[in-house]
Amino acid sequence: MSRGEYLIRRLGLGILVIIGVLMITFIVSYIVPGDPARLYLGSRATPEKLAQARHELGLDQPLPLQFVSYISRILHGELGISLRTKRPILEDIKIRLPATLELVISSMILALLVGLPIGILGAARRGKSFDQVSRLVTIGGVSIPSFWLALVLQLFFFLYLRWLPLGGRISNEVMLAHPIQIRTGFYLIDAAISGNWVAWWDALVHLILPVVVLATYPISLVVRMTRASMIEVLSETYITAARASGLTEREILFKLALKNALIPTLTIMGLLFAYSITGSVLVEVVFSFPGLGSYMADAILSTDIYVLFAVTLVVTLIYISVNLVIDLIQAAIDPRVRLGERGDV
Q: What is the pTM of this model?
A: 0.80
Task: Give the pLDDT mean for 143-160.
Answer: 88
Predicted local distance difference test score (pLDDT) of residue 340: 47
Task: Give the pLDDT mean for 234-245.
Answer: 76
Predicted local distance difference test score (pLDDT) of residue 79: 77
Predicted local distance difference test score (pLDDT) of residue 143: 84
d(C-alpha 67, C-alpha 330), whole Å: 38
Per DSSP, the three-state class of 208 is helix
d(C-alpha 70, C-alpha 79), whole Å: 9
pLDDT tens for 179-214 read 888 888 899 999 999 889 999 999 999 999 999 999
Residue 65 vs residue 282, higher pLDDT: 282
Per DSSP, the three-state class of 194 is coil
Contact residues for 153 (Cβ-Cβ < 8 A; gap 6+) = 209, 212, 213
pLDDT tens for 63-100 read 777 777 777 777 777 777 787 777 888 888 888 899 99
d(C-alpha 233, C-alpha 246), whole Å: 18
Predicted local distance difference test score (pLDDT) of residue 102: 92
Q: What residue spans define the domains of the chain?
A: 3-75, 96-333
Which run of H or E residues covers position 245?
none
268 close to 73: Cβ distance less than 8 angstroms: no
Which residues are bridge partners to 81 per DSSP?
Answer: 88
Task: Give the pLDDT mean for 233-248.
Answer: 76
Q: Which of 34-43, 102-111, 276-285 comes out lowest in average pLDDT?
A: 34-43
Nearest to 231 by CA among 126, 155, 79: 126
Predicted local distance difference test score (pLDDT) of residue 344: 44
Percent of the chain with pLDDT over 70: 84
Rounded to the nearest 10°, the torsion over CA 254, 259, 264, 265 is: 50
d(C-alpha 342, C-alpha 265), whole Å: 15
Q: For residue 343, what pLDDT band results from cuts at 50, 70 and 90?
A: very low
Neighbour count for residue 268 (Cβ, 10 Å): 18
Per DSSP, the three-state class of 232 is helix
Q: Mean pLDDT for the chain?
A: 80
Percent of the chain with pLDDT over 90: 12
Task: Give the pLDDT mean for 262-287.
Answer: 81
Residue 51 vs residue 97, higher pLDDT: 97
Predicted local distance difference test score (pLDDT) of residue 342: 45
Predicted local distance difference test score (pLDDT) of residue 189: 92
The yes-or-no verdict on residue 325 having pLDDT over 50 is yes
Nearest to 69 by CA among 276, 278, 256, 306: 306
Tell me, which fold does domain 96-333 have in CATH?
A: MetI-like fold (1.10.3720)
